[in-house]
């Protein structure tokens, strides 16, 4: 049993190292190619951004508004009656922008874009398309991995920034329409409570989550063997690994923010 545990740990360690070095390999491929095929890579990156950030924007916008509504309503109901009204805007801003929204966006993208990347690369591997590209001298890390890493990372960052405002504004408007906020709470006060450090931690989480989602699923998609039955397994492994990594990153960055008393 101990030997089996040791083999599993060694295998996980090897996978973690390979995943961590994949962005470096993609960037190195771009340097080696010296702009060759840049138009194709740019189109692939734009397509990934459209799929990740533009297509799901309506449902993500609705999720953001509901998150904002839940936080604002809860803060008003729990804090104001206990004499904490002056702190309500700060708590709302940090809870939505820094804590809740980045991880919610990441969890949605894991189930959508992450599984799509693993499935697409898995089918390319099973159908021997990747082997054919490799035999033709195509740099796989540059032409296949780099556009997905850049596209998902840029999309996650952009969604985090844009949907943070949508969550604050939409949640406030919805709460006000349902008479769940008092006259003392103004939307301007909530915006003023969004400090530069809060924005910095939110954007850091967006970049980190985007890198994790794209890199992990690229690795598991490329690791598929010759059988179609390995593709759903790669999806499961990639999804579970992304969930664990994103939740761990979210908790770590939140602890750093709280330990430094950054508001």
Spatial neighbors of 207 by CB under 8 A, at least 6 apart, are 153, 156, 157
CA distances from 235 to 9, 15, 206, 224, 242 (A): 20, 15, 22, 10, 10
**pTM of this prediction?**
0.90
**What is the dihedral sign for C-alpha 233, 236, 241, 242?**
positive
Q: Give tens-digit pLDDT for 207-232.
A: 999 999 999 999 999 999 888 889 99
CA nearest neighbour of 249 among 126, 156, 116 = 156
pLDDT digits (tens, 9 = 90+) for 25-60: 999 988 888 878 889 999 999 999 999 999 999 999
Q: Could you give the CA distance from residue 261 to residue 197 in angstroms, rounded to a whole number?
A: 10
The backbone region for 37, taken as left when phi is positive above 0, alpha when psi lies in -120 to 50, beta otherwise, is left
Look over the chain and give the mean of its residue pLDDT values, rounded to a whole number.
89
């Amino acid at each position: 049993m101990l030997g089996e545990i040791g083999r599993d740990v060694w295998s996980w360690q090897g996978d973690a190292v390979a995943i961590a070095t994949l962005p470096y390999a993609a960037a190195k491929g771009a340097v080696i190619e010296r702009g060759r095929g840049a138009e194709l890579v740019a189109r692939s990156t734009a397509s990934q951004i459209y799929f990740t950030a533009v297509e799901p924007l309506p449902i993500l916008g609705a999720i953001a508004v509901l998150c904002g509504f839940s936080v604002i309503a809860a803060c008003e109901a729990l804090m104001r009656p206990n004499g904490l009204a002056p702190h309500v805007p700060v708590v709302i801003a940090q809870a939505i922008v820094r804590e809740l929204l980045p991880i919610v966006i990441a969890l949605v993208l894991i189930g959508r874009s992450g599984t799509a990347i693993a499935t697409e690369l898995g089918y390319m591997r099973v159908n021997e398309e990747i082997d054919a590209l490799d035999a033709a001298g195509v740099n796989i890390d540059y032409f296949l991995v780099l556009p997905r890493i850049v596209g998902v990372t840029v999309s996650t960052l952009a969604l985090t920034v844009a949907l943070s405002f949508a969550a604050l504004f939409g949640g406030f408007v919805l709460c006000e329409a349902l008479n769940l906020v008092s006259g003392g709470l103004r939307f301007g006060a909530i915006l003023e409570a969004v400090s530069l450090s809060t924005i910095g931690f939110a954007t850091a989480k967006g970049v980190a989550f985007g890198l994790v989602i794209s890199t992990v699923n690229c690795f598991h998609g490329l690791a598929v063997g010759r059988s179609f039955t390995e593709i759903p397994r790669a999806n499961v492994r990639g999804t579970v690994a992304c969930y664990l990594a994103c939740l761990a990153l979210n908790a770590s960055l939140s602890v750093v923010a709280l330990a430094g008393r950054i508001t």
